[in-house]
Structure formats: C-alpha cells, structure tokens
Structure 1
Amino acid sequence: MAPLPLYPPPLKKGDTLAVIAPAGQLQEPQKFAKGISLLEEMGFSVKFPRDLWPGNDYLADSDENRAHEFNTFINDPETAGLISMRGGFGCLRMLDKIDLGQIAGHPKTILGFSDISILHNYLHTRTGLVCFHGPVLTSLTTLTSPALERLYHSLTGQWRAPIHTRKIEILRDGTTSSGRLLGGNLTSLVTLLGTPYDFSWDNGVIFLEDINEPPYKIDRMLTQLFLAGKFDDLSGLILGDFSLSSHEDTLEKIRYREQVWMRILELTGRFAYPVWANIPVGHCPDNYTLPLGATVEMDREKTRLLFH
C-alpha cells in the first residue's frame, strides 16, 4: 500500500526549476532553448548544466551521474522543482540509486512524462510524493495554449482544476469512481512487470498512453498486463492519446485508436469499472498536466475528471 500522499509546495514567481535528464540524451537543442524561454516567460528561473549532458549512447549520461543529478537537485535548497529534459529510456536503470530518504524532507515538484512515468510511479509508491505527469522541457514548444495554461496552474498549486472536454469518450459507463491516479506510458509500465519496481494497481484509477507502437505491439502489451492481473481490481481506467505517429491523417488516427479501444474493452469486459478514452494526455499537443498520486474522480454526470 502506498504511503499517504505527500504534496510538493506550489511554485511562485521567481522560483527555480532545475532541468534534469534521467533518461534519453539531448537531440533537439533548439527545442531545449525554446523550452527554457517559455519557463522564464512564466516567471520561473531555470537552472541547467552549462555543458549540458555528455551523452552515453542513447542515454543522457551514465546511470550513476543521472541519479546523482536527481539527488543533488532534490537536496538543493535553491531548487523548487525539477523538469525532465526529455523521455526516451533510462529511468529504470537508475531507480536503485535514488536517495528516497530525502524526498520526505524535501518534497518538490517533479515534472515529465513518457519514460519519466516510471520515475513518477516509483517515487509516489515508495514515498507518497505527488508528481506531475506533464510535458518535458523539449516538448513545451509543441503544446496548445490550454495545455500550457494547465501546466502553469498545476505548477503554481492550482492542479485541482477539473479536466472537462467534449472530446472525452465514455467507452464503458459505470458509477462515478475515484481512486489514486497512477499510470502513464504503456510501453514503460510494461517493463516494470516482474521487477522489484512494479506496483499495485488495485483500487487505483489507471491512465495509459503511447505513440509509435504498431497495433500488434499494443495488443501484446495490453494482453500481458491483463494476464498479469493488472486490470482486475481497478476503480477506473482512462486512456490518453494513442497515435501510430505524429504524422497520421485523421482517418488513420481514428482507425488506430478504435483498435486500441476495442482491445481494451475485450480485455476488461467482465469488470464493472468505467473506461474513458481520448483524455488529452500523452505525446500530443494537448498534453494536460495531471497530479499523479492524487485522488481523481471520474464524474460521469458531467464527463469530467475531478482532482482532490
């Protein structure tokens, strides 16, 4: 059972955000620079290594150095929050080197998505820290205005604002359900199965999203989660953005998402909890920031997500 939720203090104008690279190496310096500018326009100071990261094949740096960077900024009194530079792969390799003992004494905003969802779920289930599943630094320039606005409000303590959009699809109805919000990137979460870092999904509201995975791979991962019992005792299931690529035409995107949705409904057909889809979360311009680890309520009457 996860510890009681531990909420990081909200950021204020002038607070410092540190850029960390717990996963992949920097590939788009221009997006990095523009992301820094956007955070500064929001009123935050931004701290990052002047020599950036040396790279280690597909990783930003060695496991030891990436974990050391994270631990250093958690302990740094001048740093109020941490934003991940990008996703990719790498968080799983450094979890055993994170100093969990410092989290309770220094709860801070930690922001990111994709591979970073591994880090988020690990920190929450081990310490109770509520993390922010939201854009990484190099994706800030691709966000819509509503997504940027939600990011700012989440960072400054207004993350309880509901998510309500006509795009939400109720795939299976059910009574209003609530539970701790857990989950993230499907591919990343599947890698936790059979490891010491796997965590219970029981009674949680789980959200899933992914991109660039052909239908048979999505099917394989969902089936593996089903056979592992992950879908058995949920309070609710919400599906974010599922796209085959960022260049799909509208019809191709619709067909692909319907394949994913139908497979989810097949696998969870004997369960009574609600299943919602098309939540604006994931590898898309409408990547709304979510408080992972907080209690979320699926309000069926108004088709919105409420956060407590």
Structure 2
Amino acid sequence: MPTSFEPLRPGDIIDVVAPASRCDLVDLEQGIIELEKWGYRPRVPKNIFSKKSRFCSNLDEVRAKHLIDALTNDHSKAIFCVRGGYGSQRLIPYLKKLKKPKKQKMFVGFSDITYLHQYFIRQWGWRVVHGPFVCELNGGSLSSSSIQNFRKFLEHPSQEMRFRHLQPLNGLALKRKNIKGRLVGGNLSLLQTTAGTKHTFYGKNKIVFFEEVGERGYALDRILNHMLLADQFKGVKAIVLGSVTGGDEPDGKNFTSVAIKDFAKSVDFPVLKGLPCGHGKRNLPLPLNSLAELKLATKPELLVFPKG
C-alpha cells in the first residue's frame, strides 16, 4: 500500500523543480511569494532556467539533477513543479539509475508531469498528487477557490475527498452500483505516450481519470482508439473525465465531445465526466494511486481515500 502523505506545516521546506518547460519569472516569483504567505519555505535552484535548451526549462542533465536532489534530500517534505509543457519523459533515463528513495514525498504537478507520476507509481509504488503548478498560484489562470482548496489539502492530505455532480456518458454509468479500485491517470496524451515502455500505463482493475487540453476531436479519437488497441484500457473498472478544454477546429467548431461520446458508447465499462481537475480555472488536487469508490446512482459521486 502506498504511504500516506505527511501534512505540511509552517516552516516546512518545499523543493521547487522544473522537469519540463519554463514559466514566466514573474509568475514563478509570485507563486513563491504565495507559498511563503502560507508559512512554507520554498527552495528554488539558482539555475532552474536556462536558454541552453530549445524545448525545455534547462538541459536534461541539469533538470535531472534538480529533480533527483529534491527526491533524495532529507530536508524537504514536498516537491512542487513549476509548470508542464514538455520534457518530463526525457528525465526517465536518469531516474532509472536511481534507487527508490527511502522516503516518499508529496510530488505535485499535472499535464506533462503525468509522465513522472506514472513512473513513480509503476516503479516505486508511490502516491502522487495531480494538482496545480507553482506558476498558477498567483491566481492568474486558476480560480481562488482552487488555490484555497489546494492549501487546505496540503494541511490535511489524508482527509477523505468527495466529488459530486458527475455526469454519465454511457448506459453502464446509469446502473446503480458501487465500484472500488485505485484511482490512476492524468493527462490523456501523456498516458498514451507511455505505451511500449517498461512503465506503460495500464488501467486494469483501476478507476481511471484523465483530462486533456488543445486536442481536436479527430486527435482525441485517435488517442483513445490507440489506447484501446494497445490494451491500456483493458479491464478498466470505470473512467471519470476531468476537464477537456480547447481543441477548436479552424472554423471555430469543436468536436471533442463527439469523440468522447463515441468512445463512451464503444466500451464495456462506465464512463462519466465532471471532475474539476485539469487545464481549467478549476483544478482541485487529486491524490493518484489512492483507493477510491465510484457510487453510480441518480446523483453519481466519487470518493477518494488518500490514506487507502
């Protein structure tokens, strides 16, 4: 069973890392100030960003060093990612050389960070947090309620979570029953890119969550069908979608909901939507690799047990 998260207390050190892309320095500074207002001591590497890398926040070896230092030091209790973008998967060869850390830390991020989440879950059995980036804590792209919810989660990470207002997308989601399993997932396209690796995402016997941003309808259809063909959804107990944003066609139309509805009709497990998690103004923390219970009824809801 994955270790439960330790609550963060005033004075605790939080390591801030940028495993993928860089963010605006002003946004980073404002996010750091917000964490300091909460009483924490965020620690940022002096050379966190560099122009030496065309695609990422820094060279692979530098980003890997920052991440590994954060994972293995005895001082910090949590690791927060600056932002997503691209680059997390390029750090896997460095992580493969690392022995599983003796202590699990609260590792927070989403989007491109999904690749690291999947590695930590599959290789180390860790519990991880699908949650906001440091650069979002200034409130520019994230609602104030999401920021406050995140703050409360940090202080009480073992508290049971309840997500209501879920919407069924197929007939199986309308049947009254309770489904239990570990909650896994993250960004859909990043989960797809794990296929063929030693840490391939498989949803067997799991409740799967996914979210996505900027993928047009045909691209979503391609991703979902590839994952079906690769057996990544074989044996899934249920899927609950978070936000699926963007993806407009050149003429302004949007067919993302069409792709998702077609997928939901084609599978033999319940599919629902409505989790307030992902690339949107609402992005509530979600402790992945935790036990969860999906209650299918007139008003379906998802319970997550961060201690389970």
TM-score, structure 2 normalization: 0.88
- Is 1:282 aligned with 2:282? no
CA contact (8 A) 2:217 2:256 kept: no
Find the partner of 1:53 among 34, 38, 49: 49
The residue correspondences of 1:17-36 to structure 2 (distance < 5 A) are 17-24=14-21, 26-36=22-32
- Quick one: distance in 2 between partners of 1:12 and 1:70? 22
Find the partner of 2:185 among 183, 186, 192: 183
Shift of 1:291: 0.4
- Quick one: distance in 1 between partners of 2:25 and 2:200? 34
The residue correspondences of 1:106-255 to structure 2 (distance < 5 A) are 106-140=103-137, 141=139, 142-166=141-165, 168-172=166-170, 173=173, 174=175, 175-244=177-246
Shift of 1:304: 2.1
**Change in CA separation of 1:8 and 1:221 when aligned onto 2, cut-off 3 Å:** same
Calculate percent identity across the aligned residue pairs.
Answer: 28
- Quick one: distance in 2 between partners of 1:137 and 1:267? 38
- Quick one: distance in 2 between partners of 1:223 and 1:139? 32
Moved runs in structure 1, 4+ residues, more than 6 A?
Answer: none
Shift of 1:100: 4.7
Shift of 1:102: 4.0
- Quick one: distance in 2 between partners of 1:160 and 1:33? 30
**Change in CA separation of 1:51 and 1:238 when aligned onto 2, cut-off 3 Å:** same
Shift of 1:156: 2.2
1:239 aligns to what SS in structure 2? strand
Give the superposed CA RMSD. Answer: 2.1
TM-score, structure 1 normalization: 0.88
Paired residue for 2:289?
Answer: 293
**Change in CA separation of 1:31 and 1:163 when aligned onto 2, cut-off 3 Å:** farther
Q: In structure 2, what residue type is equivalent to 1:153?
A: K
CA contact (8 A) 2:241 2:272 kept: yes
- Is 1:42 aligned with 2:38? yes
Paired residue for 1:88?
Answer: 85
- Quick one: distance in 2 between partners of 1:148 and 1:196? 35
Gaps of 5+ in 2: none
Gaps of 5+ in 1: none
CA contact (8 A) 1:159 1:290 kept: no
CA contact (8 A) 2:167 2:273 kept: yes
CA contact (8 A) 1:90 1:115 kept: yes
For residues 16-63 of structure 1, give each alpha carbon's deviation from its aligned partner in whole angstroms, at most 9, with x where no partner exists.
111101111x23222111211221222211110234311411111222
Q: Which shifted more, 70-79 or 82-91?
A: 70-79
Paired residue for 2:258?
Answer: 259
- Quick one: distance in 1 between partners of 2:152 and 2:129? 12
Q: In structure 1, what residue type is equivalent to 2:152?
A: H
- Quick one: distance in 2 between partners of 1:47 and 1:20? 9
